[in-house]
Structure 1
Amino acid sequence: MNNDRLMWIVVIGLAAGIGLIAWSDATGGIAGLSAGQLAHLVAYGAIGLVVGAGVVATFTGRLGEALRAAALWLVIFAFLAVGYTYRVEIHATAYRVLAELAPGYAVPLASTGGPAVEVARARDGDFNVRVEINGNRIPMLVDTGASSVVLTPEDAVEVGLPIEFLRYDIPIDTANGRGKAAAVVLDRIAIAGSIEERDVPALIASPGTLKHSLLGMSFLSRLASFEIRGEKLVMRAKIAQ
Structure 2
Amino acid sequence: MPGIRVLGSALLAAAFLTGTMGEAPLAELSPGQTALLLAFAGCSLLMAAAIVDGFSRHWTHGIEAVAISGGLIVAALVTYAARDDLQMVLDRAIGDIADGRAVVTDKGEVVAARRTDGSFILNGKVNGREARFVFDTGASTVVLRAEHAADFGFSEEELRFSVPVATANGSALAAPVTLRALTIGSITEHDVPALVTRSGALHANLLGMSFLERLTSYEVRGNRLILRPKDVTPAG
Out of 161, 174, 185, the residue aligned to residue 181 of structure 1 is 174
Cα 1:213–1:147 change in 2 (3 A) is same
The one-letter code sitting in structure 2 at the alignment partner of 1:185 is T
Partner of 1:203: 195
SS in 2 for 1:157: helix
CA distance in structure 1 between the partners assigned to 2:98 and 2:117 by the alignment: 13
Change (3 A) 1:220 1:239: same
Number of the residue aligned with 2:104: 108
Structure showing greater radius of gyration is 1
Distance 1:99 1:172 in 2: 29
1:112-153 superposed Cα distances (whole Å, 9 cap, x missing partner):
xxx310011112110111111111111111100000000001
Cα offset, 1:101, TM superposition: 2.9
Select the residue among 139, 143, 154 that pairs with 1:150: 143
Q: Secondary structure at the match of 1:210?
A: coil
Aligned to 2:216: 224
Conserved? CA contact 1:99–1:106, under 8 Å: no
1:186–1:199 CA contact under 8 A, matched in 2: yes
Cross-structure match for 1:212: 204
User: How many aligned residue pairs are there?
Assistant: 146
* CA distance in structure 2 between the partners assigned to 1:106 and 1:143 by the alignment: 16
CA distance in 1, matches of 2:130, 2:21: 26
Matches of 1:101 and 1:142, distance apart in 2: 18
Equivalence for 2:119: 126
Select 2:157's aligned residue among 149, 154, 164. Answer: 164
In structure 2, distance between residues paired with 1:167 and 1:211: 20
What runs of 5+ residues in structure 2 fail to find an aligned partner? Answer: 1-17, 23-90
The RMSD of aligned alpha carbons is: 2.5
What is the CA-CA distance between 1:98 and the residue it aligns to? Answer: 7.3
Which TM-score applies when normalising by structure 2? 0.57
Identify if the C-alpha distance between structure 1 residues 99 and 208 changes in structure 2 by more than 3 Å, giving closer, same or farther.
closer
Q: What code does the residue aligned with 1:136 have?
A: R
Q: What is the aligned-residue identity percentage?
A: 43
Q: For 2:105, give the aligned amino acid.
A: L
CA contact (8 A) 2:94 2:115 kept: no
Structure 1 counterpart of 2:101, one-letter code: Y
Instruction: Classify the secondary structure of the residue corresponding to 2:157.
Output: helix
Give me the TM-score of the superposition, normalised by structure 1: 0.56
Partner of 2:15: none
Q: Deviations over 1:48-99 (max 9, x none)?
A: xxxxxxxxxxxxxxxxxxxxxxxxxxxxxxxxxxxxxx9x959xxxxx9976
1:169 and 1:149 mapped to 2: Cα distance? 16
